[in-house]
Chains A and B, each alone.
Chain A
Amino acid sequence: MQVLYGRHHVRVYRFGLRLVRDEQTAEDLISEVFLDVWRQAGKFEGRSAVSTWLLAITRFKALSALRRRKDFELDDEAANAIEDQSDDPETVVQKKDTSEALRECLTGLSADHREIVDLVYYHEKSVEEVAEIVGIPENTVKTRLFYARKKLAELLKAAGVERGWP
């Protein structure tokens, strides 16, 4: 378990943190995820990579944590604040740095879009693996990422950032 934890805990933490946007909650998540792994090791069928299995559990735990937070702690106004903690487009454009603006806009994506962008680009998951983690058909995975990138383009355009294409 120590070896498994050592190899995967940072990526599990980062995936969880991008979903729940709270370091304390993300740290609690990784304890819960690896405890589940400890308890359910017998259910792992070896048909997918361990990291895919771990990310699927993390996603489930993160969504449960978000639901609890919304149910018990936040009103709608506060929930909306969580949905968009990034700077508004005007603030982003002031930063002038395209890379920084891009990172700000990546942060400003919806949870569904953030999740799919991270899984494909950072966690380097294939179409099939993303479908398994998120629980959606493979074609939906492809179109969801396309529309996530489309939304990203809109956010950057609103921020006045031009990267020369289109």
Chain B
Amino acid sequence: MMALSKKMLEQEPSEIEMLLPWHAAGTLNARDARRVEEALASDPELAKQYAVIRGEYEETIHLNESLGAPSARAMQKLFAAIDAEPARTTGALPLSARVATFFSSLSPRTLAWSASLGAIALLLQAGIIGAVLMKTQTATFQTASLSTGTPVTRELGIAAPSRALVRFSPEARVADITALLDSYQASIIGDAKGGMFRLQFDKAMSQEELTALLGRMQREKFVNLAVAAP
């Protein structure tokens, strides 16, 4: 078994062989991934080894996923300890580090969504500006100071993500809350005040959509109350 031939067990592995596990996990850079792909295409023994590595990869994930999640005790202990810490001055982290931290904490999917929304906002803005210019432009010469008498207004087209206030049921564990947040594509953005957490959803919603979603959330087992944030 295992991706180790007798020859391999006796000899030092080649560079490509040692990179196979990272190729299986999809964490190689483009250059190394291409080298491995080429080697796999031309070497059946290496391809066989890679198939076995895929099996190890899947079972390692399965094993780790079976470990479960910590109880709420860990979170309670942590936040009790933080509450007991002396007050911190804000802005201790340099701006560049805070920005890097923020983007690092986003999942690749969230990051991709954010980039797409930003691109759409820019396109909409460019379209609106273009339309306004086309409308006001005449065939004759105009001075820069000429006023049409009509104020130019712009809309970004993308509203801010919707927010809500939610109170979780006392028996909710951290894992339950995390799963709930994932399923609703929401994040906790504010401290608990009066037992309420401030949530932000990954996308903007109309009032009707938000009301329907909060109604659905309200019926969740681990949610006591879900209302739109003021």
Decide if A163 touches B52 in the complex (CB within 8 Å): yes
Q: What chain B residues lie within 8 Å of A162 (beta carbons)?
A: 1
| CB within 8 Å of A: which B29-78 residues | 29, 48-49, 51-53, 55-57, 59-64, 67, 69-71, 73-75, 77-78
Known: A103-B59, A106-B63. A31 touches B74 (CB 8 A): yes
Residue of B nearest to A41 (CB): B93
Instruction: Answer yes or no: A84 CB below 8 A from chain B CBs.
Output: no
Residue B1 contacts which of A23, A26, A156 (CB distance < 8 angstroms)? A156
Interface majority SS (helix, strand, loop, mixed), chain A: helix
Q: What chain A residues lie within 8 Å of B94 (beta carbons)?
A: 42
Binary interface encoding of chain A residues 39-62 relative to chain B, with 1 for a CB under 8 A from any of its CBs, else 0:
101101111011100000000000
Distance of A160 from chain B, by nearest CB (Å)? 10
**Taking each of A2, A106, A142, which has the highest tally of chain B beta carbons within 10 Å of its own beta carbon?**
A2
Decide if B4 touches A153 in the complex (CB within 8 Å): yes
Binary interface encoding of chain A residues 20-38 relative to chain B, with 1 for a CB under 8 A from any of its CBs, else 0:
0001001110110011001
Decide if B49 touches A165 in the complex (CB within 8 Å): yes
Residue of A nearest to B13 (CB): A146
Instruction: Answer yes or no: A150 CB below 8 A from chain B CBs.
Output: yes
Instruction: Answer yes or no: B87 CB below 8 A from chain A CBs.
Output: no
CA distance A139 to B36 in the complex (A): 17
CA distance A127 to B27 in the complex (A): 8
Number of chain B residues close to chain A: CB under 8 A = 69
Residue of B nearest to A122 (CB): B64
CA distance A99 to B58 in the complex (A): 9
Decide if A118 touches B64 in the complex (CB within 8 Å): yes
Interface majority SS (helix, strand, loop, mixed), chain B: helix
Decide if B104 touches A49 in the complex (CB within 8 Å): yes
Distance of B40 from chain A, by nearest CB (Å)? 14
Decide if A142 touches B18 in the complex (CB within 8 Å): yes
Instruction: Answer yes or no: A136 CB below 8 A from chain B CBs.
Output: no
Interface size range on A against B = 35 or more
19 A-B contact pairs sorted by A residue (CB < 8 Å): A3-B105, A3-B187, A6-B178, A7-B105, A18-B67, A27-B74, A30-B78, A39-B85, A41-B92, A41-B93, A41-B101, A44-B101, A46-B100, A102-B55, A106-B59, A120-B21, A122-B64, A142-B18, A153-B9
Hey, which bits of chain A sit against chain B, CB under 8 A? 1-7, 9-10, 13-14, 17-18, 23, 26-28, 30-31, 34-35, 38-39, 41-42, 44-47, 49-51, 99, 102-103, 106-107, 117-118, 120-122, 124-127, 142-143, 145-146, 149-150, 152-153, 156-157, 161-166
Q: Please name 14 further chain A to chain B contacts, defined as beta carbons within 8 Å, in addition to the given A44-B93, A121-B60, A153-B2, sorted by A numbering.
A: A10-B70, A13-B74, A28-B74, A41-B93, A41-B101, A46-B96, A49-B104, A50-B104, A51-B104, A126-B22, A149-B2, A152-B2, A165-B5, A165-B52
